[in-house]
Amino acid sequence: MPGGDGARVESADVRAGRLIDTLLRQRAGAVPERPAAGSSEREIAEKLRVCLGALASVHRDGDEVDQLIRQQRLQPSDDERYRARLGAFGIVGVLGSGGMGVVLDAFDTELSRAVALKILHPELARDTRIIARFRREAQAAAALDHPNIVTIYGVGEEAGVAYIAMQRVAGTSLDQLLEQWGALPAELIREIMRQLLSGFAAAHAAGLVHRDIKPSNIMLEGLGDSGMKGLNVDAAPPVSPDDRPGFDRSSDPNTRPLNPSIPESLRVRLVDFGLARMRGARTQLTQDGRAVGTPDYMSPEQARGDEVDHRTDLYSAGVVLYEMLTGQTPFHAADSSATIYRILHEEPRGPWEVGEGVDSALGSVALRLLEKQPEHRLDTAVAVLAHVEAGTRARRRFDWRRWRVALAVAAVAVAAMYFGILLLMPRVPVEARIVRPENKAVEVRYEGWPNWRRLYAFSDEIGIVHAATAVDLSEAQGRVVAVGTQPAPGLANLFCLSARGEKLWDLTVEDIEHATSWRDSSPGDWSVQTIVAEDVDGVSGDELIVLAHHVEDYAACVAIIDPRSQQQIGGRFWNAGHLHGAQIERDYFEDGRSALVVWGTNNKLDGWDDGTRTEACQAANWDWVPAVMILDLDDLAGVSPP
């Protein structure tokens, strides 16, 4: 009937169709996350979920049991309580199937106990390697006696069908619990991990590696079919995380898990050692050359087909822990190849980034177990258990290979920044020195730079460099470098260089007033031996105190040069000998004026030795006498010795 109620019925049908499609895709694994729904859709969804689950179970059991009978792997049963039989075992139905075999819900009629009976797929029963692995499963698991590992009752063969009879665990799988509830409360996760790791410790101590750890191989006994309701949480299964029981919605802004009442009867049991391998075995069995395992829970080394040890189980346990914390696996993708690529090449997101209220300590343990390199994971199940029980964080080890691209980019950026600063930042000379032994170049150390750098190299025609110093022209003009040389005839012997090495000006000693007045000395025979940069006049900036020698005669002079104007300041003081150094002595005179102190040697005057001094206490040789001269800057003139 069009319109009215008919329209509403049509709308409900459309919604139901969408939900059926979504539920089927979820069951096939194509939709990893449950969509939000309104209250009416939740009711429809729950009814459909129950119906579809029952239909799928009947359809699956009927098909698989009948098919096994047709293949003559099972025999029809004369006892109406059982749908088939295998020797002394009555077959009730199918519990599940995997890559290697089918697990049957059976009853041992001889010992009167329920068992889980595992038989190989018919197409694998003819492969001797698979049979060897199947028997190894029984031998390895039967050797373990631990409350968190399923008990193996026996192994045998009936009518050509190899089987393993094991403990029938009454309860629900972790896979079913996660499918129904998504992320679990922290205290439940901690208890599940505590028992699971205890089982790991026993298996690994016996040299056994499971290699197929996943939620469907972890059974929870003691909760019954009610799942989370067995934790004394009385509520319907939620659709959105905010509606999950066991969460305190009053703790804002973060939703935090409560401590549910975990029954003492809860028992976690690890099942299905179908992929187990004893350490030290010479062969590693695979199917058609492919790596064995479930892609979402594979370790990187397992996905590559490499040799594995107990740390591959710890990695898979990390995936299970991550899924219990967030409701999803860390590397799930649309297909197996994409999942394996993500396992090998991508880093997992932090669990607290995926879900709200995630226990940070458990999240850190999950990330440590998900390290790509086995040596970077926690070493043993006992070490993991210690963190889980104490509630402590597990710090991840630094692996430079994980960050090698970022480190390379950072190194290039730092290098570019460093050299950019060198090119752009202003250069302020703070010290200068002569490069020896060639005495043809000057090096400078700049402000803020730790190393010496070549500033200027002189040509052979310039002569030998004797002196170099940094000079402060003024606050506005900056700093330069003054250099003194012994030049070839007619060439300059006093230079001023910029901070980048450009020549600003040059002078010869002959340019200074009366440079040749000493005993008719030849032009070009003067050498600048020492340069001292000092503030002579009290005005901003340094002046140059230049000490020059005549190359051949006993002649030396002291002159003060203004580097800004290249002019001599005041007079010139002459010395009959050599001069080695000079400095300004502040406030030397009583009126507060400064003095210029110069030291060196004088040529000894005739008649100085009156014969009263012995050679032992003689302070001078025939051609030199130590001398210190204190000069008045306002009257820098005269000849020494005074």
- Cα within 13 Å of Cα(213), Cβ side: 28
DSSP assignment letter at 149: B
Distance between CA atoms of residues 155 and 140, nearest Å: 12
The answer to whether the CB of 393 falls within 8 A of the CB of 367 is no
Residue type, 531: I
Of 478, 502, 487, 585, nearest to 536 by C-alpha is 585
Structure tokens at 210: 């499971």
How many CB atoms lie under 10 A from the CB of residue 622? 9
Q: Token pair for residue 511?
A: 């340019």
Distance of CA 435 to the CA centre of its chain: 45
Helix ranges (H only) for 173-277 are 174-181, 186-205
Dihedral pair phi/psi, residue 344, rounded to 5°: -80, -30
Beta partners for residue 248, in sequence order:
256
145 classed as catalytic: no
**Phi-psi group of 80: left, alpha or beta (phi > 0 → left; psi -120 to 50 → alpha; rest → beta):** alpha
Check if the beta carbon of residue 19 is closer than 8 Å to that of residue 44. Answer: yes
- On whether the CB atoms of residues 176 and 27 are closer than 8 A, the answer is no
How far, in whole angstroms, is CA 60 from its chain's centroid? 48
Q: Which residues, listed in sequence order, are joined to residue 149 by a DSSP beta bridge?
A: 270
How far apart are alpha carbons 561 and 44 in whole angstroms? 102
- Contact (CB, 8 A) for 150 and 198: no
β-sheet with 526-534: strand ranges across: 526-534, 543-550, 556-562, 567-575, 638-640
How far apart, in whole angstroms, are the C-alpha atoms of residue 204 and residue 383? 13
Q: Which amino acid is at 536?
A: V
Q: What is the phi/psi pair of residue 534, to 5°?
A: -140, 150
How many CB atoms are located within 10 Å of the residue 147 CB?
12
* Per-residue exposure over 240-271, b if at least 16 CB sit within 10 Å of its own CB, e if not: ebeebbbbeeeeeeebbbeebebeeebbbbbb
The Cα 127–Cα 504 span in angstroms is: 93
Cα separation, 277 vs 270, whole angstroms? 15
Question: What distance in Å separates the CA atoms of residue 481 and residue 503, rounded to the nearest whole number?
Answer: 10
Instruction: Report d(CA 508, CA 169) in Å as an integer.
Output: 107
Please give the span between the terminal C-alpha atoms of the chain, in angstroms, as a whole number: 134
**Pick the catalytic residue: 61, 108, 212, 506?**
212
DSSP 8-state assignment for residue 106: E
Contacts of 127 by beta carbon, 8 Å cutoff, 6+ apart: none
DSSP per residue, 431-442: EEEEETTTT-EE
| Structure token digits, residue 76 | 């029809």
Integer Cα distance of 68 and 593 in angstroms: 119
CA distance 61 to 18: 27
Which residues are tagged catalytic?
A: 212
